Amino acid sequence: MDSLKLANFSMCSCLLFATLLASSVSFAAAEVHFHEFVIQARPVKRLCRTHSTITVNGQFPGPTLAVRDGDSLVITAINRARYNVTLHWHGVRQLRNPWADGPEYVTQCPIQPGGTYTYRFTIQGQEGTLWWHAHSKWLRATVYGALIIYPKWGSHYPFPMPKREFPVLLGEWFDRNPMDVLKQALFTGAAPNVSDAYTINGQPGDLYRCSSKGTAVFPVMPGETILLRIINAALNEELFFSVANHQMTVVGIDAAYTRPLATNVIVIGPGQTTNVLITANQAPGRYYMAARAYQTAQNAAFDNTTTTAILQYMSTSGTSGKGQSSSRPILPILPAYNDTATATAFTSSLRSPGKIHVPTQIDENLFFTVGLGLINCSNPNSPRCQGPNGTRFAASVNNVSFVFPTTNSLMQAYYQGVPGVFTTDFPPVPPIPFNYTGNVNRGLWQPVKATKLYKLKYGSRVQLVYQDTSIVTTEDHPMHLHGYSFAVIGAGFGNFDPINDPPKFNLIDPPVRNTIGSTPGGWVAIRFVADNPGIWLMHCHLDSHLVWGLAMSFLVENGVGELQSVIPPPPDLPRC
């Protein structure tokens, strides 16, 4: 990377950080941040080829939003692309305000080409790293960016102040239009083609063709401690991430602080974020940070390439050390693609910094099977039945494969009392119990397609166990719940045991997340209080699984009074 590009990159990261440094000497009221996001196609060249890529404001990745806890955002989305689009502010609680959440046909109808919609929301009680992305079909392959939430003025991090910080967005690049990849998969019923590269801040890195000139570089001074805000924006892959010869200390996940955890590698699922501190305590030089797949599905194709960026030591004059710019960086040793032991050891070590409030009395005890399925075809030789043995791939929660509405959004139908759009009979447990991780009878492989919601009373204390199944294959499904964060109280392999597993739950200092992977061939348990009224999507953040139906929605009823009720919809909410 040339010195100008490096200087500009460093300047951008330091401008964000300068805002935080001012908190020690200045106090101010919460701010309102106004932005225009123009969604449009722009030429983007990667892997030797130029594509007409959907971007925001011509940027890939899109703009970084930097705010403080308590601030409000007013973001006008202007759709100049040829596709319908919505934007989701991943992990933002959106208290009483589902209208700003963004999932297509759940809380709004899409912004049509030529249309606009202004998202208005306030950050309340959240600090750390979140992100934003398109929530329409596969547009989020390129429409995404970081959302950084600093502490309120006068507050500080619960760890030593880093000297500088950088967002690190991990993504996937397709050497064709991602929407065409999806369209082909939905036609054939087969698994979609895998990506051609992973990226760090939009760049594949030195190990791919025609990519070295754009490789992202992160400058650091010897002895400095920096903060990396790592976001997995990949469409369909969990990732291992490491920095050569440098230990990382995890201090936050999904905009929640953690007890400091020293590690040489992290695993991060799509939708998740991880904040790590790194101290430049090695010999001055250039060190690769790298990411590659953590693949848990058996006999499934996946992108087995490796993306890299460079951690580059600088001299006191602000330039790279003598001879460094031409030397080959050191590459970290990453775990094997299927190293579930390393992934489990990492996730099971995460803790909140201290005791947190976890519901101990439970009102709603939910048990959700999550996994794949197959739809049988009357004509297995049809070009639309190219899944295993002449079938079509599907996915489901409790054997219900979620069908998104196409003429109205769930939230608008609920608010306006429009009948026939959804039902509220989603099953709290599997309709037919079975040996979830064993040899499953083929009669249970075909889910039922429906638009079913599960109703929760305001204030309900909820325990939810996600149980992976071996239908088609066991797999780690990163499950994201919109509108909420939750405590991850336990996990294990095999079938969940409702008698012997709950006594092992961590009800003292469990980690808090908004996206959690179901243990491959196992289960994970979460708890939360249903204190945010509205309709909130819950889904697997592997987007191929989402379009197959691995989703459902909660309908959280209003409580008592205005402060426990959904606010009215904005006047510019897109029409259906």
DSSP 428: S
Q: Looking at the DSSP assignment, which residues form a beta bridge with residue 504?
A: none
**Average pLDDT per block of 10 residues along the chain, 576 residues long:** 38 42 51 98 98 98 98 98 98 98 98 98 98 98 98 95 97 98 98 98 98 98 98 98 98 98 98 98 98 97 98 77 68 98 98 98 98 96 96 98 98 98 98 97 97 98 98 98 98 98 98 97 98 98 98 98 98 96
Which residue bears the tokens 């109205």? 408
Cα-based torsion angle of the residue sequence 185, 191, 194, 200 in order, rounded to the nearest 10 degrees: 90
Please tell me the total number of residues recorded for the chain in this structure. 576
The rounded distance, in Å, linking the Cα atoms of 139 and 113 is 14
3-state secondary structure 168-223: EEEEEECCCCHHHHHHHHHHHCCCCCCCCEEEECCECCCCCCCCHHHCCEEEECCC
Please give the pLDDT value at position 4: 32
Please give the pLDDT value at position 320: 64
CB of 421 closer than 8 Å to CB of 410: yes
* DSSP strand pairing (400-402 vs 448-450): parallel
Which residue bears the tokens 């690190």? 168
Given strand 453-456, what is the order of strands in its sheet? 453-456, 551-556, 534-540, 478-481, 515-517
Write out the two tokens for 518: 């179901």
CB of 291 closer than 8 Å to CB of 240: yes
Say whether the peptide bond before residue 61 is cis (omega within 30 degrees of 0): yes
The rounded distance, in Å, linking the Cα atoms of 299 and 318 is 49
The rounded distance, in Å, linking the Cα atoms of 260 and 64 is 26
Please give the pLDDT value at position 332: 98
DSSP E strands, 484-533? 486-493, 512-513, 515-517, 522-529
* Half-sphere exposure at residue 43, Cβ-oriented, CA atoms within 13 angstroms: 4
Q: What are phi and psi of 277, to 5 degrees?
A: -95, 140
Given strand 306-313, what is the order of strands in its sheet? 217-220, 306-313, 286-294, 238-243, 266-268
Please give the pLDDT value at position 13: 47
Q: Looking at the DSSP assignment, which residues form a beta bridge with residue 305?
A: none
* DSSP strand pairing (116-122 vs 72-79): antiparallel
* Half-sphere exposure at residue 308, Cβ-oriented, CA atoms within 13 angstroms: 25
Helix/strand/coil for 391? strand
Please give the pLDDT value at position 315: 82
Q: Which of 540, 427, 407, 521 has its CA nearest to residue 481?
A: 540
The rounded distance, in Å, linking the Cα atoms of 231 and 200 is 10
Contacts of 21 (CB under 8 A, 6+ apart): none
Please give the pLDDT value at position 130: 99
Q: Which of 168, 218, 209 has its CA nearest to residue 329?
A: 218
For residue 415, the surrounding DSSP H or E stretch is helix 410-416
The rounded distance, in Å, linking the Cα atoms of 431 and 425 is 12
CB of 116 closer than 8 Å to CB of 222: no
Please give the pLDDT value at position 29: 83
Write out the two tokens for 530: 């249903």
Which residue bears the tokens 């979830």? 436
DSSP 424: S
* DSSP strand pairing (248-253 vs 256-263): antiparallel
For residue 11, the surrounding DSSP H or E stretch is helix 3-21
